[in-house]
Structures are given as structure tokens and as C-alpha cells.
Amino acid sequence: MGGFDDHVAMMGDWMPPNPSPRAFFSAAWGDDISSRSILESPAENKTDDKDWMRIGGASDQLTKSNPFADQKMSSRGGLLERMAARAGFNAPRLNTESIRPADLLLDPDVRSPYLTIPPGLSPTSLLESPVFLANSLVQPSPTTGKIPFAPGSSSRSSTLITESSDKSRNFFEDISSSSFAFKPIAESSPSLFFGAASKQSFPSIEVSVQPENTLHCQSAEPAKVQSQSAEHSPPPDDQQDEDADQRGGGDTMAGGGAPSDDGYNWRKYGQKQVKGSEYPRSYYKCTHPNCPVKKKVERSHEGHITEIIYKGAHNHPKPPPNRRSVIGSSNLTTEMQLDTADQAGTQIGADGDPMWTIMQKETAGGSHDWRNGNLEVGGEFNGPNSLQGQIGAHFESGDAVDGCSTFTNEEDEDDRGTHGSESLGYDGEGDESDSKRRFVMHLSIFYKIKPGLFSVLLQKKERRD
DNA sequence: AGCCTTTGACCAGCG
DNA sequence: TCGCTGGTCAAAGGC
């Protein structure tokens, strides 16, 4: 239960910054929306962390570029973490903040419940979701595990620059006319990885996108959450994550850094308050002998992980799962992170060039700073390695489309890894109508928009095309 | 006993 | 050269 409630609460926090559906649609339909794509934002990526790859949103970046960042910053943590912790993936946050037009802010209507977009949910993700995308897209992704990163993959630069893929489109205009108030968004913070990934062969960047909804769902389905749900009562979400984190149980692994997080064992070797970051940063090393992988984790005071950055690649297989099973939900997280780490590191590891991968970042307040959010639209699918593909994969696993249940079940996927090769429901191209229906459903679910409305919009769109 | 966390100190890079 | 900052080391303590 708490999950849902939290979710709501969270929503409230970051509501303002809701991701723009427009972007979402744009991506989906590829309309030509003149407006700049959400992704457009220049590379802010301060991710210049040379060797490190960031996966999570970095609050800083967003923050800096985004006027609304402040708000979020104040409230970061929470949801994303939970998600990450439970699901094992991070939900990239939409940059909508930057995107969100003044209108939205001003216009109360915009906040209509129907328009709310779940935090952490990236429309792109949805789009990328296996359900919508051909499996082919997802499959090749390293994330999916089908394609190992090429060791040599260049990417040394950890910086992910976001390039918008120019997918902006106008679908929303239509929508706007209909009933939505979505408007073009001005800027979008660059998506760290996605852009970069797409442009560069960013091997390890892996972002798992998961809609909060999923989380909610999990809450809804205690059975799957198992121990976690059982464990906590209070703020189930937080608590559990935190607990887990603390001892490494949580997938939040970041924090706990313990073993189960991503499947690897980590030892914390330092913690420091980083300037510019409101939360302390913890440094972890993979405990496996000779394994160069490190990770930096920022977590809120509550223990929520706001960001995880992996560096290097594991040169060894995952240790046998221990708590993971117990932890249950964390599996996903684990997987994801794992994959992330692996992949990210993998490349690195090969040449010894460390790369940091930003795994996730979340705003405690509920505002999720997924700089990644940009991901949402990342643009086109760039290939197997593309983040999107990865995302899709993750999303897949976490895909809430059909219901939360999907997500929870993910536990089983542990072994399969983050991969998302299996498509949740996408039947293939042939089933266009079907896919559309699903799409609508997705939208309605994630965006909480009435399905009927989406259908109408969709039809309208089609006619136009 | 082993492993991990905590935490202050140290070191290196940068302006 | 100095100060700042991020990253790492290593001793102490806990589980």
C-alpha cells in the first residue's frame, strides 16, 4: 500500500515537473514537432567524470540547467530509490521540468490527475518498451545481455551528452487542442547517457527505466515483494529500501553496497560529503580480488539512493546469489545495476579504462532527477547498444504496462539478468492495432490519462498522418 | 576470524 | 604556492 501512497505523494512533489506527454508522444509517433526535442539540451553533462559513467540522473546537471531543479533537489530520494531498490532499476526522470512550460505551472488544469505522469517514468521508456518496440530493438542490447559490450568499445568518455534525437514532434499539439494543455517544452536537460550512448558507443551505460507504477504495483502485490513488504510497515518503501541498503540487501545497493545489490559484493572504503551534493557520497569497491570495479553512491539522509555511478568492469562472474532471493524485489534492481555495472565496466575493464556509469539518481523529495530523464526521448534507436535498447529492456522487465504484476514477477528474471529480451507483450509489427491499444493502455496507466482520450488522440493523429 | 562499515587523514588534481 | 575538492587509505570497531 505504502507504495501507492508514496507514489502519490511523490507525484505531488514533483508533479510540476511532469514529463511532458508531448515529448512522449512525439517520440512515439515521430511527429514532427518543431519544438526542440526534449533531449535537446546541450550537454550539460558534467558527467565529465572522466572515467566514470553515470547512469542515474545527476541532480546537479539538471539542477543547474533546470530552474525547477531546486524544488526537486529538496525532495529527492524516495521513490526512485525505492524503485531502484526494489526493481533494481532506476527510473529515469523526465526532464520535463525543463520542458514544462510555464503554462503548466500556471495552469492548474494541467495538473489534472489524468495528466500526471508517474515520476521516474520515462515516456521514452514506454515507447522503447518492448511492448511497443520490435523486439529486435531490444534484443541486441547489451543490457539485454544479448550483446556483450565490446571490450574495446570506446567509450571512455563517461560523459554522456545528450543529443536530442530530434524527435520532437507535434503530436501534443493535437493533444493540446483536444484537451491537454501540454505545450512545447523549452529545454531539456541533456540526457546523460542516452544521448551519449547513442552518439558514442557507450557501452556500459545502462539505464533501467521503470515506471513508478510498477513500484506501486509491487506494493500492491506483497506476495512478490516478499520479505520486503513484510519487513516494513512504516514507510514501506523507504524502510525497506533503507534496510536493504544498509546491509547491502537493498538493491539500492548503492547504499548498502553490500553484496546483493547488483549481485556483486561491495566493500565501502570511504564516504565523503561532496560539495554541490546535498547528500554524502559513498565509495565502494568490488570485493572480488583484482576486480577494479568501483562505484560511487549518493544517498539521501533517509537512505534513498540518489545516484549510483559505476566505474570499471567486473572481471569475474557474479557471485552466487544470496540474499537476493530473499530480497526479492531487489532482484530487478540488482540485475539492472548489475548489468549496468557489468556492461559499463566491462568495456572499461578490458582496457583498464575505468568508466563510471551513472546508474541512477533520484531525488529524494520525490522529484526524480533523472537526468536521464532525457532519455525519454532519446531519440531513435541507435542500435543494439543504444541505451534505449537497454532501456527498453529494462523497461520491459519492469514494464508496468500490463499491470504491475509484470514487474514484480521480475524477480525471476534475476538470473536472466536485466535483459529484457523477452518482450512483454509486443506481438510484432503485424499487430499494429494491438500495439496501439497497448500503447494507449500504457499511456493511460502511466500518465493516468483516460484511455479513451488517448484513443481519440491517437486516431486523430493517425488521420492526420 | 573474517568481512564490512565508519571516519579522519592523506594524496592528487585543479584553479 | 595555497586552498579547495574529490578520491582513497587505513585504523578502529561492529556484526
In DSSP notation, A382-400 reads --TTSHHHHHHHHHHHH--
List, run by run, the mean pLDDT of 10-residue segments along chain A (465 residues): 35 36 38 34 39 48 37 38 40 37 36 35 37 36 35 35 35 37 36 36 36 35 33 37 38 38 82 85 87 85 78 81 42 40 39 48 39 32 34 33 34 35 36 52 47 53 59
In DSSP notation, A98-151 reads HH--HHHHH-GGGG-GGG---TT--HHHHHHSTTTS-HHHHTT-TTTTSSPPPT
pLDDT value for A264: 84
Minimum-distance nucleotide, CA of A49 to C1': C6
Minimum-distance nucleotide, CA of A271 to C1': B7
Cβ of A464 near strand C (under 7 Å)? The reply is no
Q: Any residues with CB less than 8 A from the CB of A313 and at least 6 apart, and which?
A: A204, A292, A293, A341, A342, A343, A344, A345, A346, A347, A348, A349, A350
Question: CA(A109)–C1'(B13) in Å?
Answer: 51
Alpha-carbon gap, residue A19 to A115, rounded angstroms: 10
Q: Is the dihedral of CA A194, A198, A204, A209 positive or negative?
A: positive
Instruction: Please answer whether residues A203 and A347 qualify as being in contact, where contact means their C-beta atoms are separated by less than 8 angstroms.
Output: yes
Question: CA(A386)–C1'(B1) in Å?
Answer: 46
Closest residue to C4 measured CA to C1′: A275
Instruction: Please answer whether residues A149 and A236 qualify as being in contact, where contact means their C-beta atoms are separated by less than 8 angstroms.
Output: no
Contacts of strand B, CB cut-off 7 Å? A 246, 248, 256-259, 265-272, 282, 284, 287
Closest CA to A387 of A340, A318, A447: A340
Question: CA(A63)–C1'(C5) in Å?
Answer: 20
Question: CA(A274)–C1'(C2) in Å?
Answer: 21
In the three-class reduction of DSSP (H, G, I as helix; E, B as strand; rest coil), residue A29 is classed as helix
Strand B bases contacted by the protein (CB, 7 Å): 3-9
Instruction: Please answer whether residues A169 and A33 qualify as being in contact, where contact means their C-beta atoms are separated by less than 8 angstroms.
Output: yes
Minimum-distance nucleotide, CA of A270 to C1': C8
Cβ of A287 near strand C (under 7 Å)? The reply is no
- Amino acid identity, position A280: P
Minimum-distance nucleotide, CA of A311 to C1': C7
End-to-end CA distance of chain A: 42
Question: CA(A356)–C1'(B6) in Å?
Answer: 24
pLDDT value for A312: 84
Minimum-distance nucleotide, CA of A283 to C1': C7
pLDDT value for A436: 56
Alpha-carbon gap, residue A362 to A76, rounded angstroms: 6
Would you state the cell numbers that stand for residue A308, as one nine-digit string? 549510483
Cβ of A49 near strand C (under 7 Å)? The reply is yes
Strand C bases contacted by the protein (CB, 7 Å): 4-10
Question: CA(A354)–C1'(B14) in Å?
Answer: 20
Cβ of A266 near strand C (under 7 Å)? The reply is no
Closest residue to C15 measured CA to C1′: A247
Question: CA(A35)–C1'(C13) in Å?
Answer: 58
Question: CA(A272)–C1'(B7) in Å?
Answer: 9
Alpha-carbon gap, residue A210 to A190, rounded angstroms: 19
Question: What Rg value do the Cα atoms of chain A yield, rounded?
Answer: 19
Whether this model's pTM surpasses 0.75? no
Question: CA(A274)–C1'(C5) in Å?
Answer: 8
Question: CA(A57)–C1'(C10) in Å?
Answer: 32
